[in-house]
A and B are shown apart, each in its own frame.
Chain A
Amino acid sequence: MEHFDFIEMKLPAKPEYVGVIRLSISGIANRMGFTYEDIEDLKVAISEAMTNATTHAYEDNEEGEVTVGFGIYKNRLEIMVADHGGSFDLNEIKAGTGPYQQTEEIESLREGGFGLFLIDALMDKVEIRNDYGVIVLMTKNLSINEVDIDDDQISTTQ
């Protein structure tokens, strides 16, 4: 079986912890050898997922919790963001997502709905399950020319 390290965090479903989860993924991705650009993408993606979890699932319940899991593989980082609160209407959310279209009137432009679109645009693979609460699974691949977490040598052309 493919080896991986797993980190799990449980956070209160409150917006003040979105910045905290962002710092966490920054550390993990940095340790794995992701580039600066990829780390910035990961920060946006996980923040969007965490924001969704805090705003959609726990609107009437301040006791909610969000579980975040990091699967650290040799060639990729798998992230799971799960809330165990009530589920939202996934189709409705999906229908309201996507880039701005030139034909849209500014007056009717939505202020939300870019979250899932950005996750999709920034990650290599995204899967959303809506069975018990909402689970967002997303994967970012580590490019082969990036340094591996187990590498103990640095080669240089100089």
Chain B
Amino acid sequence: MNINLDVEMIEQDNMTTLVLSGEIDAYTAPVLKEALLPLTKQPNTEVIVDLEKVNYMDSTGLGVFISALKSSKEHSTSLKLIQLQDRVHRLFKITSLDSIITIDTTVRGGN
């Protein structure tokens, strides 16, 4: 079990994907914020956050995604979360944040 958070960045044309694995909490959220926020400020960038391997997240993670959303609106970039595990997706639903943050709920597989 990994209670830390690993962040991997994949850049392709004007699309940047952050692939996260581990857990997002008060200790690891700053790592995510540091990696994610600068990306949302790059002009014409589409930022995708892949949460497939994130098996735990709490309100500190929600806070980072709210910051990132604000920043992307401010800099006219786009932000999308993909491959959320059910438990992580549930937090966005409970807080109604799924109505303002773009979350791709497509079933994974079949590239």
Interface residues of A (CB under 8 A from B): 15-16, 18-20, 22-23, 37, 40, 43-44, 47-48, 50-51, 54-55, 99-102, 106-107, 109-115, 117-118, 121
Contact = CB atoms under 8 A, between A and B. Distances in A.
Interface stretch (B8-16, B19-27, B39-47, B103-111): B19-27
Interface string B25-38: 11110000000000
Top 6 A-B residue pairs of the complex, sorted by shortest distance between their CB atoms: A19-B3, A15-B26, A114-B59, A15-B27, A111-B63, A51-B26
A48 B95 contact: no
A51 B91 CA distance: 17
Contacts of A101: 96
A141 to B, nearest CB: 19
B73 A107 contact: yes
A117 B95 contact: yes
A106 B25 contact: no
Given A51-B58, A100-B97, A117-B95, A18 B70 contact: no
Contacts of A48: 58-59
Given A43-B56, A99-B94, A117-B95, A19 B62 contact: no
B99 A19 contact: no
Interface of B: 1, 3-4, 23, 25-28, 56, 58-60, 62-64, 66-67, 69-70, 73-74, 87, 91, 94-97, 99-100
Q: Identify whether the interface residues of A are mostly helix, strand, loop, or mixed.
A: helix
Nearest to A114: B59
Contacts of B25: 15, 18-19, 22, 47, 51
B26 A22 contact: no
Contacts of A107: 70, 73-74
A118 B58 CA distance: 9
B59 A23 contact: no
Contacts of A113: 59
Nearest to B69: A106
Contacts of B94: 99, 118, 121
Given A100-B99, A109-B70, A23 B3 contact: yes
